[in-house]
Amino acid sequence: MCSASDAWSGLRPTTGSEGFSDVSRNTYTYDLRCTGPGGQVTDSVQVSVIQVPQCVFSLNPGLVILPQTSTLSWSCQFADSCSIDHGLGAVNPVSGSRVVQPQFTTTYTLSCEGADGGRSYPGTVRVFSSNLREILPR
């Protein structure tokens, strides 16, 4: 029989495997000590958990009538760098907002990079022109 310690604990069989879920971005050390007729053996392994960026990207409002503006807002975890296309460039990888005034329907994409790769989050601002005309009395 074996005994586990550090990032896990309890008794473990001498053979087998074990999976883990619900782990956060971190480095974990797993120690295992087994005792048998031939004596005792100890081993240790370090596991680094890295995650791709996870973001919420919103556009408010998502529909505008010229010349109105829309606010792009985002909040991210596990991102080291982020940018938004259409000339907005690099943005804070944790959270932020930018006001835009597109002249036509535009899809903005928040692109973020992290330790385990990148992800993109598109959002579209639909733009309409007003056909209303002011009629002045004579």
Task: Using the predicted structure, report yes or no on whether residue 65 has a pLDDT greater than 90.
Answer: yes
Rounded to an integer, what distance in angstroms lies between the CA atom of residue 44 and that of residue 27?
Answer: 13
Q: Which residues, other chains included, contact 92 with Cβ-Cβ below 8 Å and sequence gap of 6+?
A: 82
User: Cα-atom radius of gyration of the chain, to the nearest Å?
Assistant: 27
Spell out the domain ranges in the chain. Answer: 2-49, 54-128
pLDDT band at 83 (very low <50, low <70, confident <90, very high): very high
Average pLDDT over the chain reads 91
Say how far residue 25 (Cα) sits from the centre of its chain. 12
Q: What pTM did the predictor assign? A: 0.68
pLDDT score of 60 more than 80: yes
- Exposure b/e, 113-131, CB count within 10 A at least 16 = b: bbeeeebebebebbbeeee
Torsion angle of C-alpha atoms 127, 131, 136, 138, degrees rounded to 10: 170
pLDDT band at 92 (very low <50, low <70, confident <90, very high): very high
Choose which CATH entry (2.60.40.10, 3.60.15.10, 3.90.1010.10, 3.40.50.2020) describes domain 54-128: 2.60.40.10
